């Protein structure tokens, strides 16, 4: 039969429109076949050969699975470009018990917070690529992935501006107490005030205050840049040499930073060394007027120690966007600690940041398909 005469008809064997089939084939960066060439489309091809190769192709289509896509894309963005690259299944959420069943046969596996440990990786022989939909990749056993020849990529620097913005959202909330005064006004307190104004909390001016930034990567540096704009003195605990720092940022050792700074903001990765970095010893080094900010990783902080320090006045306040367990247990001591302000891990989640995340995710996948992977953390 002439293929171009039957293009408008559906395949009797699989029910798929042949034109749609060919279009998908064109878009699939992994598998190139002879039918996309114009000269061949006009040739006579035996029906059995065409349908046999169609079925062979379907058995070879790359399988892509997104284990927990809802957080990155709750529906306001599009997965269409990813779907064009293969047979793509997107789950909003996946429990630990569902991982192996859902990931079976996948060459590409994308995860945000679903853990992929050594046991899971070993049980997925077709798996060749893991894409983490975040900057941190501690949810993946990278060593095990490397042993199995699996590429692991992350999404670097996509939310730098948004996270730095959240740092100062917390700082300004603590310094100005906007929500507190809004709530008080709604009760009629200002209307009934004998004076033109009232305040019952400390109101803190940032100019001249010392901020200590632990970890001077992309987000730490952007936080420093905003702090400089507020006229703050900026100090950093960093592996960078003092000669690598701009003159507005001074390098400082950890003990001095905790004892000197009015605000301490955490931007370091979670490692064996930094786990529990903020504990009772460190908190006792801080000023009683000090503010602690964490938009990095929850386990950087010993949560009971921080709750105790807030409740007994060792430090003044804390602004947190991350906790050790998310969502937190209802008995987490920080949920009821004095002057502890918590947001539900949303520093990264602005629309602009998530759009960048989706774009970098696609670029990572396409680079893998092209044989030149980028952002590979399993080298």
The whole-angstrom separation of Cα 237 and Cα 251 is 6
345 is catalytic: yes
| Residues 247/236, Cβ–Cβ less than 8 Å | no
Of the listed 102, 218, 225, 345, which one is catalytic?
345
Question: Are residues 216 and 202 in contact, defined by beta-carbon separation less than 8 angstroms?
Answer: no
Of 20, 98, 147, 326, which one is the catalytic site residue? 326
Is the Cβ–Cβ distance between 85 and 369 less than 8 Å? yes
Annotated active-site residue 275? The verdict is no
Q: What count of other Cβ atoms lies within 10 Å of the Cβ of residue 115?
A: 13
Of 326, 256, 270, 264, nearest in space to 294 by CA = 264
State yes or no: is 326 an active-site residue: yes
Q: Which of 297, 303, 354, 356 is catalytic?
A: 297
Active site residues: 297, 326, 345
């Amino acid at each position: 039969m002439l293929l171009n005469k039957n293009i408008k008809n559906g395949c009797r064997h699989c029910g798929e429109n042949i034109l749609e089939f060919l279009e998908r084939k064109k878009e699939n960066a992994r598998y190139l076949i002879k039918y996309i060439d114009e000269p061949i489309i006009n040739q006579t091809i035996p029906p059995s050969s065409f349908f046999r190769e169609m079925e062979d192709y379907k058995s070879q289509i790359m399988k892509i699975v997104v284990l927990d896509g809802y957080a990155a894309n709750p529906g306001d963005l599009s997965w269409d470009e990813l779907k064009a690259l293969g047979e793509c299944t997107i789950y909003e959420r996946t429990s630990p018990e569902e991982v192996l069943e859902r990931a079976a046969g996948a060459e590409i596996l994308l995860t945000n917070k679903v853990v992929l440990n050594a046991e899971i990786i070993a049980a997925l022989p077709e798996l060749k690529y893991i894409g983490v939909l975040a900057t941190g990749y501690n949810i993946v056993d990278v060593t095990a992935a490397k042993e199995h020849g699996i590429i692991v990529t992350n999404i670097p620097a996509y939310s730098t501006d948004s996270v730095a913005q959240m740092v100062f959202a917390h700082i300004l909330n603590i310094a100005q107490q906007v929500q507190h005064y809004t709530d008080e006004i709604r009760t009629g307190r200002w209307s009934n005030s004998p004076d033109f104004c009232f305040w019952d909390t400390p109101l803190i001016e940032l100019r001249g205050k010392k901020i200590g930034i632990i970890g001077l990567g992309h987000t730490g540096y952007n936080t420093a840049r905003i702090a400089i704009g507020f006229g703050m003195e900026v100090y950093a605990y960093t592996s960078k040499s003092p000669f690598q720092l701009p003159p507005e940022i001074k390098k400082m050792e950890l003990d001095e930073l905790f004892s000197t700074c009015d605000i301490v903001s955490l931007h370091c990765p979670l490692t064996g060394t930094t786990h529990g970095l903020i504990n009772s010893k460190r908190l006792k080094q801080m000023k009683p007027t000090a503010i602690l900010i964490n938009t990095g990783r929850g386990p950087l902080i010993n949560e009971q120690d921080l709750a105790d320090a807030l409740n007994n006045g060792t430090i003044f306040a804390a602004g947190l966007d991350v906790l050790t367990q998310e969502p937190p247990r209802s008995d987490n001591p920080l949920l009821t600690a004095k002057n502890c302000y918590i947001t539900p891990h949303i520093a990264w989640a602005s629309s602009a940041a998530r759009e960048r995340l989706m774009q970098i995710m696609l670029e990572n996948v396409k680079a893998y398909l092209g044989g030149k992977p980028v952002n590979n953390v399993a080298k």
